[in-house]
């Protein structure tokens, strides 16, 4: 008999959270801390969504999306998770750029970028200050018609090298392009510039296990291998979800699944206004990624000066469409030194990431797909040689993930790494106006994606749900703690 992953669940919960990405986990934790009964359903056998890891023989543990996030994570983790989690966040000191226009190492904060822009790039201090202040003052309610390209042209006209320095990491960090609204750039860039780039010491496995411990302590009913098939809606709003063939009643759902799957697959477009459906259909997905995971031999490592995060490119000029090309010219290498996992086996791992289009990887025969992955590994080893000499002999394990891999594990349409483009945020926020009790808290809109963005979005949405349920006498009252 197949295992019943729903054994012992109640018939009804105040809130059902679909998906255990960082947004879903955070929303569930806050809701339960506020006294609501919460069921968290994850279709995969592991929690974390894209914030995940995998193990390979030899003591190698690879992180999928632990490359860097802004300092704001410390505050968010302390407030909405635990001090222990917040205290494990550490800064990456060596952020490196190496491309035909420039090679440099930076701590990736406003002070150091000001130094680089004024001394190495020869930009007037006043211009640099005005640019930083302008980016810092941007917020969600600003003018959305100005593009990032227009923002750069205003402060650094004709300076493609400066644009590359300012934009390449952000394109990597959330897939945004020069044609996206300037505010999506300004908000994310300023978040990083406040103090630099940070990661979680101990690895994603330690983080997610700590989060699971917190969830259980908060009283969340956590279930893995539970694939939600349907969200049922009645005339009064949300009624139930169907998961692994079982119906569970609830009056509020927070979906952490992809925004488009939530609307079109889990609920169904007939449940929404026509104009809303039209708007939702226009929401573009963000791009996906390829990654190559490489492990050095047991006692082998690389000098620290190699950097922690290395934006390498052989392209003469910076073009966002080139970053997505199958013919890869830009790779971001993350170096995980033995102190990434102080209690681990002392391994040095390297992950190469590149933004990618799903269409370049889907629809191949099994043989073609395997051959393409093999080629990706081989060309990546060639590119790594410049930074890790003799890498081909030193790398003892290498394998690749593609947009198809990301789609397979997270059910994100087209393997989208950062959910949807900016317009997705308005659609996500409008869901409860369409259907009472329906919420979405997952990567969308560039701003609300990435580790910090999704955690913060989980907080915002959890508070919306708490407000709604506190106005509904028919459901369990919200505790006052």
Ligand X SMILES: Cc1cc2nc3c(=O)[nH]c(=O)nc-3n(C[C@H](O)[C@H](O)[C@H](O)COP(=O)(O)OP(=O)(O)OC[C@H]3O[C@@H](n4cnc5c(N)ncnc54)[C@H](O)[C@@H]3O)c2cc1C
Q: Where does this chain bind ligand X (CB under 6 A)?
A: 18-24, 41-44, 49-51, 64-65, 67-69, 227-228, 256-257, 289, 291, 353, 406, 410-412, 417-419, 442-443, 449-451, 454
Q: How far is the CB of 290 from ligand X (least distance, A)?
A: 8
- Nearest to ligand X of 69, 81 (CB atom): 69
Cα distance between the two ends of the chain:
43
Angle at Cα 10 formed by Cα 7 and Cα 11, nearest 5°?
115
Structure tokens, 39: 């069921």
Q: How far is the CB of 457 from ligand X (least distance, A)?
A: 8
- Nearest to ligand X of 307, 450 (CB atom): 450
Tell the residue number behind the tokens 């704001």, with chain if given. Answer: 72
- Nearest to ligand X of 397, 411 (CB atom): 411
Q: CB-based contacts of 466: which residues, under 8 Å, 6+ apart?
A: 30, 31, 34, 36, 478
Q: Which residue is nearest to ligand X (CB)?
A: 21
- Nearest to ligand X of 17, 117 (CB atom): 17
Structure tokens, 27: 């929303």
Task: Report helix, strand and coil shares of the chain as percent, to nearest 5.
Answer: 40, 20, 35
Distances (CA, A) of 49 to 25, 352, 400, 418: 10, 20, 18, 12
- Nearest to ligand X of 134, 372 (CB atom): 372
- Nearest to ligand X of 156, 457 (CB atom): 457
Structure tokens, 345: 């086996």
Q: How far is the CB of 357 from ligand X (least distance, A)?
A: 14
Q: How far is the CB of 119 from ligand X (least distance, A)?
A: 28
- Nearest to ligand X of 131, 185 (CB atom): 185
Backbone angles phi, psi at 45, to 5 degrees: -85, 0
| C-alpha span between 88 and 242 (Å, rounded) | 38
Q: How far is the CB of 271 from ligand X (least distance, A)?
A: 16
Q: How far is the CB of 475 from ligand X (least distance, A)?
A: 23
Question: Where is 154: in which H helix or E strand?
Answer: helix 148-155
| C-alpha span between 312 and 164 (Å, rounded) | 12
Q: How far is the CB of 353 from ligand X (least distance, A)?
A: 5
Q: How far is the CB of 258 from ligand X (least distance, A)?
A: 7
Distances (CA, A) of 7 to 215, 219, 222, 244, 316: 18, 17, 12, 11, 58
| C-alpha span between 360 and 336 (Å, rounded) | 29
| C-alpha span between 205 and 370 (Å, rounded) | 28
- Nearest to ligand X of 131, 232 (CB atom): 232
Whole-angstrom Cα Rg for the chain? 22
- Nearest to ligand X of 44, 347 (CB atom): 44
Q: How far is the CB of 415 from ligand X (least distance, A)?
A: 8
């Amino acid at each position: 008999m197949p295992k019943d992953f729903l054994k012992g669940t109640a018939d009804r919960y105040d809130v059902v959270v679909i998906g255990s990405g960082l947004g879903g986990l955070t929303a569930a934790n806050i809701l339960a801390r506020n006294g609501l009964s919460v069921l968290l359903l994850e279709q995969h056998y592991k929690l974390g969504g894209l914030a995940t890891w995998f193990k390979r023989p030899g003591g190698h543990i690879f992180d999928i999306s632990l490359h860097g996030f802004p300092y704001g994570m410390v505050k968010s983790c302390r407030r909405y998770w635990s001090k222990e989690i917040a205290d494990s966040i550490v800064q990456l000191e060596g952020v490196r750029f190496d491309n035909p226009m420039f090679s440099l190492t930076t701590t990736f904060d406003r002070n150091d970028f000001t130094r680089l822009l004024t001394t190495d790039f020869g930009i007037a201090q006043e211009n640099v200050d005005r640019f930083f202040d302008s980016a810092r003052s941007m917020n969600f309610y600003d003018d959305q018609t100005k593009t990032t390209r227009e923002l750069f042209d205003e402060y650094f006209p004709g300076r493609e090298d400066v644009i590359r320095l300012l934009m390449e990491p952000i394109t990597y960090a959330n897939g945004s392009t020069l044609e996206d609204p300037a505010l999506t750039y300004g908000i994310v860039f300023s978040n990083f510039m406040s103090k630099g780039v940070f990661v979680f010491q101990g690895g994603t496995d330690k983080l997610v296990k700590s989060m699971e411990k917190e969830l259980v302590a908060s009283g969340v009913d956590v279930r893995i291998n539970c694939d939600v098939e349907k969200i049922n809606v009645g005339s009064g709003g949300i009624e139930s979800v169907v998961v692994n063939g079982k119906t569970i009643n609830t009056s509020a759902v927070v979906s952490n699944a992809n925004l488009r799957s939530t609307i079109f697959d889990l609920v169904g477009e007939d449940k929404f206004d026509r104009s809303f459906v039209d708007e939702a259909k226009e929401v573009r997905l963000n791009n996906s990624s390829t990654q190559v995971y490489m492990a050095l031999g047991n006692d082998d490592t690389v000098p620290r000066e190699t950097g922690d995060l290395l934006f390498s490119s052989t392209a003469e000029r910076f073009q966002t469409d080139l970053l997505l090309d199958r013919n890869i010219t830009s790779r971001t290498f993350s170096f995980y030194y033995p102190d990434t996992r102080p209690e681990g086996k002392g391994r040095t791992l390297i992950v190469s990431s590149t933004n990618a289009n799903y269409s370049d990887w889907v629809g191949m025969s099994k043989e073609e797909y395997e051959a393409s992955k093999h080629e990706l590994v081989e060309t990546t080893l060639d590119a790594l040689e410049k930074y890790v000499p003799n890498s081909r002999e030193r790398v003892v394990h290498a394998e690749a993930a593609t947009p198809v891999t990301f789609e397979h594990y997270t059910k994100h349409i087209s393997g989208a790494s950062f959910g949807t483009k900016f317009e997705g945020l308005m659609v996500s926020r409008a869901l409860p106006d369409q259907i009472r009790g329906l919420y979405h808290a997952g990567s969308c809109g560039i701003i609300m994606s990435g580790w910090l963005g999704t955690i913060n979005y989980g907080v915002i949405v959890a508070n919306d749900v708490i407000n709604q349920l506190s106005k509904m006498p028919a459901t369990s009252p919200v505790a006052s703690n």
